Amino acid sequence: MKVNMNIDVHHLTRVEGHGNIHVVVKDGELIDAKWAVVETPRFFEAMLRGRPHELAPTLTSRICGICSIGHTLASLRAVERAMGVDIPDDAKMLRLLAKHGETLQSHLLHVFFLAAPDFLGVDSVIPLIESHPDVVGLAVRLKGLANDMCDIIAGRTTHPVSLVVGGVNKVPTKKELETLKQRIQDRLADVATTVEVFKTLSLPDFVRETEFVSLKGENSYPWIGGDLVSTDGVVKPEDDYRAMTNEYKVDWTTSKFAKLSRESFAAGALARFNNNYKFLCDAAKQTAEVLGLAPVNHNPYMNNVAQIIECQHVMIESIEMIDKLLANGFKDIRSDYTPKAGKGVGAVEVPRGILYHEYEIDDHGKIAKANCIIPTTQNNANIHYDLAELVKQQVKLGKSDKEVELLCEMLVRAYDPCISCSVH
């Protein structure tokens, strides 16, 4: 029997922002498979022109409601590198701690609230409150911890207030840090339970070989700044990010596409895992083994698993950092500087992948030119080409329209796209 399919998902649910999936199969042949972002653009790069440099992080944090700390940190790094501002070590650690809080809250939001309903066959997390109260309870506890961590360190989870050019504005109290450390330690048991739950789920078995791009770790799993690396062997300095992204525009979508050595590449938790596995802590490596993930893995659905592994890693790394901060006693948290003209790039690993901000600052300390390249923008082409391959494979296996539609939706969700972010 020849298969015909016409899949049209308008404004895909359980993702951040507005995107459509369009698939046409005629007589068993794939005619068309598109991932189209239809989000309304906001033109942040144009809005940045003429703004004082100290407001650039505040403005660009509004690019994204989920990874606003990540945008703030990329923006700060670009401003600080443009003006040659060095920041104190304790401030660096506090910033990274805020970022770990964000990674944790964002990954948990995705794994439990956005992706898990598919694995458990429901529309949203709401029916799970009745059917799986233990899992929801655990997710809510962990996510609460992650948000509190951001609130304590950065002043607020969504659109942080204490991260400023030169360092940080405010330090948590010793008691706040000690309590935070204890709570993280207590919640590691919830991560272990999460791993047990995921062991029982079977993720779709799909492979399309691609290239994975991330920051390159030197001594540790990388989060803020450094060289860029790909699984195809490309290594470039941070400042050459444009050669790593090669953005281009296609006419059916408002977000740009990107490529490197192949027609597309992927960024995100799986990309970081594939490039920097050796820097994960031992417990996270054990989790990877238990959940069947080893580098280089080319199954995009495994991004969910890579996110769980990163949750565990950032929690353990946060405990170590809090110990160091308590031992240091916050000698210095903010550097003085004189605004000056310059150009700077800031590359930061945010939950969905590597994020770049680049600014040119004029003699008056104002932004003269800005460029921001978002992880989801980098992933759009990979999602697009994955969809075509996924549909081809599923049609051969004789799957129904409904089954293929769900797998397509789950594929896009696995990338945890931040669509309004990608159309900034």
Partner 1 sequence: MEYLGIEPKKARIGVFDFTCCEGCELQLANKEDSLVDFLALVEVVNFREVSSDRGQDYDIALIEGSISREDEVERLKQIREKAKILVTLGTCACFGGVNSIKNRFDIDDVVSEVYGKNKVETLPVRKVSDIVKVDLAIPGCPVSKSEVERIVVNLVTGAAVNLPKYPVCVECKQKGNTCVVDLGEICLGPVTRAGCDAACPTGKTGCLGCRGAAEDANFDSLREILREKGHSDEAIDERLRFYNAFSEELKNEG
Q: Which residues bind partner 1 (CB under 8 A)?
A: 11, 13-17, 40-43, 45-47, 49, 51-52, 55, 58-59, 62-66, 68, 105, 109, 113-114, 117, 123-126, 129, 136, 140-141, 143-144, 147, 154-162, 164, 169-170, 249, 251, 254, 420-421
Distance CA(170)–CA(161), nearest Å, equals 9
Task: Tell me the pairing of strands 265-266 and 228-230.
Answer: unpaired
Identify which of residues 2 and 175 has a Cβ nearer to partner 1 in the complex: 175
Residue 136 CB, shortest distance to partner 1, in Å, is: 7
Distance CA(87)–CA(108), nearest Å, equals 30
* 175 token code pair: 């008691």
- Output the CA–CA distances (angstroms, integers) from residue 138 to 105, 121, 144, 414, in the order listed: 13, 19, 10, 21
- Output the CA–CA distances (angstroms, integers) from residue 39 to 12, 254, 255, in the order listed: 12, 7, 8
CB 41: neighbour CB atoms within 10 A? 13
**11 φ/ψ angles, rounded to the nearest 5 degrees:** 50, 70
Residue found by looking up tokens 């969504």 in the block? 158
Residue 376 CB, shortest distance to partner 1, in Å, is: 13
Identify which of residues 204 and 365 has a Cβ nearer to partner 1 in the complex: 365
Residue 62 CB, shortest distance to partner 1, in Å, is: 5
Identify which of residues 147 and 276 has a Cβ nearer to partner 1 in the complex: 147
Residue 135 CB, shortest distance to partner 1, in Å, is: 13
Q: How far apart are the first and last CA of the chain?
A: 45
Identify which of residues 11 and 396 has a Cβ nearer to partner 1 in the complex: 11
Distance CA(187)–CA(193), nearest Å, equals 10
Which residue type, as a one-letter code, is found at position 229?
V
Identify which of residues 51 and 259 has a Cβ nearer to partner 1 in the complex: 51
Residue 164 CB, shortest distance to partner 1, in Å, is: 7
Is the four-CA dihedral 361, 351, 33, 386 of positive or negative sign? positive
Residue 41 CB, shortest distance to partner 1, in Å, is: 6
Identify which of residues 236 and 340 has a Cβ nearer to partner 1 in the complex: 340
